[in-house]
């Protein structure tokens, strides 16, 4: 019987999240920054599904008809819904940005500083 500690999933999720943060901090292309934010959202989704599975397995050992863990998977579903809405608005903002300054380089977005 395969047993995977939930720690491994935590570490995988944290590594993906950290890579997303490094991408947000290092890149200057607004689209790639946006993609790194999507990467961080997905890291959180993995963690939610892993915890759902962990609790379900623990409850299933006692009761064969349990549905513990359904809520976490629905949360992941709603996160995906919100991410889809966020991507449409975000890409519309990037397109508007490109139309105004003819670039997606975020270093040109310093007008609020002056």
Name residues contacting another protein, limited to 33-92 (CB under 8 A). Answer: 34-36, 38-39, 42, 45-46, 49-54, 56-58, 60-61, 64, 67-71, 73-74, 76-78, 80-89, 91-92
Q: Does 11 bind another protein (CB under 8 A)?
A: yes
Angle at 13 between CA 11 and CA 15, to 5 degrees: 65
Q: Does 101 bind another protein (CB under 8 A)?
A: no
Contact (Cβ atoms closer than 8 angstroms) between residue 51 and residue 7 = no
Q: Does 112 bind another protein (CB under 8 A)?
A: no
Tell me which of 25, 62, 110, 114 binds another protein, using CB under 8 A: 25
Q: What is the DSSP string of 16-40?
A: HHHHHHHHHHH--BHHHHHHHHHHH
Q: Does 109 bind another protein (CB under 8 A)?
A: no
Q: CB of 59: closest distance to another protein in angstroms?
A: 10
Contact (Cβ atoms closer than 8 angstroms) between residue 20 and residue 39 = yes
Length of the chain: 114
Residue closer to another protein by CB (options 107, 114) is: 107
């Amino acid at each position: 019987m395969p047993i995977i500690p939930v720690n491994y999933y935590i570490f995988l999720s944290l590594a993906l999240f950290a890579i997303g943060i490094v991408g947000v901090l290092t890149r200057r292309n607004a689209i790639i920054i946006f993609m790194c934010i999507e990467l961080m959202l997905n890291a959180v989704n993995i963690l939610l599904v892993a915890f759902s599975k962990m609790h379900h397995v623990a409850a299933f050992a006692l009761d064969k008809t349990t549905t513990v863990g359904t809520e976490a998977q629905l949360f992941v579903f709603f996160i995906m819904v919100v991410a889809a809405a966020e991507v449409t608005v975000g890409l519309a903002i990037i397109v508007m940005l490109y139309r105004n300054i003819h670039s997606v380089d975020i270093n040109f977005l310093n007008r609020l500083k002056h």
